[in-house]
Structure 1
């Protein structure tokens, strides 16, 4: 059985743990850098990207996260996690982890009160996936190696580049675990 970590600094950690377990993997909340060695894949949950970055810096996670990414182990970023993965953030000088060849724009679907749900077609996952958008970013542009998996109203909301998966919405906030299952399968494949 593969073991998938969920970065436990901020965000919907418990919901991701539940989705990973429902997808047939062992799940572990990651609160210490050394725990990264115990997992085969890692989820970077939603939350507030600036706060998450502060906590990543405070607890010394930045370099270990970059090393985890370079080791070839899969990473899945949702909402703020997508922002952490991207190489470029509109209006910002520096990326965070910066391993996925995409440019994202923060809060591009509006503030908290403009949160909404939308039916999405996600390539390789589902034709009828309900995406929960809360202060969601969107992917402005992608590099040549990046596969666009889903769009909503002409904006890219899910993409994959090799072992990196990212989405604008919160798949963990529904009972539909098909996207978590897709990631768990990526982790299984990378381990084989």
Structure 2
């Protein structure tokens, strides 16, 4: 199996390394014709405006849209999530071109700029159910977007509380969860819709390969085969711990 990784800019090398740890080859994709050699694609995190300009320069958008429409598995992380969204807000003047296909509205840099990057423990019951391991995932958010709205066919895989000092456009009906202290607003940070997977965070920057394994199951057909990442009895849970990265912890 070979998985294409869009290699215009951003953390494509880290995705290729994560795939290698699962015994899968990652193929760098920079030109439209190279998409013909792969049956799945990862669009990595990076600077979304820069990536869009480079994709436009290489005339990649028509080929990427066709790739999505053909039902081939595509996973977008951070900037890649913005690429896959049908609608993006909070963009720079003039906006950026999108691939689309994922029925959601994404807010670019929802959590702030580079200095507001953080780590957070998020609940991932779907991932734990199919890939084993802990019921939570230590997620790395770097200039991260967030999903404000999703369509009826979109499956939410993870969400995160909105910071108390964060102002959100009232036209978006954010998820709310009743707690003893009142209603807590949340934004969505991971979704799946048919052949498309989107995460607002960077699994490729952690030692936990369960998101990559989950995507590989999408490539093979949901529910088919078995995952190498499933924990066996007595397996060391420390394998799933995040390496030391100097980012603040989001509470």
TM-score interval, normalised by the smaller of the two chains: over 0.9
Stretches of structure 2 that go unaligned for 5 or more consecutive residues are: 129-134, 162-185, 225-251
1:89/1:95 contact within 8 Å kept = no
Distance in 1 between residues matched to 2:212 and 2:116, nearest whole Å: 25
1:25/1:184 contact within 8 Å kept = no
TM value normalised by structure 1: 0.94
Shift of 1:155: 1.1
> CA offsets, 1:57-110, max 9 Å, x none?
001100000011111100000000000000011246775001100000011111
Equivalent residue, structure 1, for 2:114? 112
Equivalent residue, structure 1, for 2:124? 122
Question: More relative contact order in 1 or in 2 (CA 8 Å, sep 6+)?
Answer: 1
**What does 1:52-71 correspond to in 2, within 5 Å?**
52-71=51-70
What is the total number of aligned residue pairs between the two structures?
190
Instruction: Say which structure is richer in strand.
Output: 1
Structure 1 runs of 4+ aligned residues shifted over 4 Å read 91-95
Identify the match of residue 143 of structure 2 among 135, 138, 143.
Answer: 135
Equivalent residue, structure 1, for 2:191? 159
| SS state at 2:126 partner | coil
Instruction: Say which structure is richer in helix.
Output: 1
Distance in 2 between residues matched to 1:76 and 1:15, nearest whole Å: 14
**Higher Cα radius of gyration:** 2
TM value normalised by structure 2: 0.73
**What does 1:28-107 correspond to in 2, within 5 Å?**
28-91=27-90, 96-107=98-109
What value does the CA root-mean-square deviation take over the aligned residues? 1.5
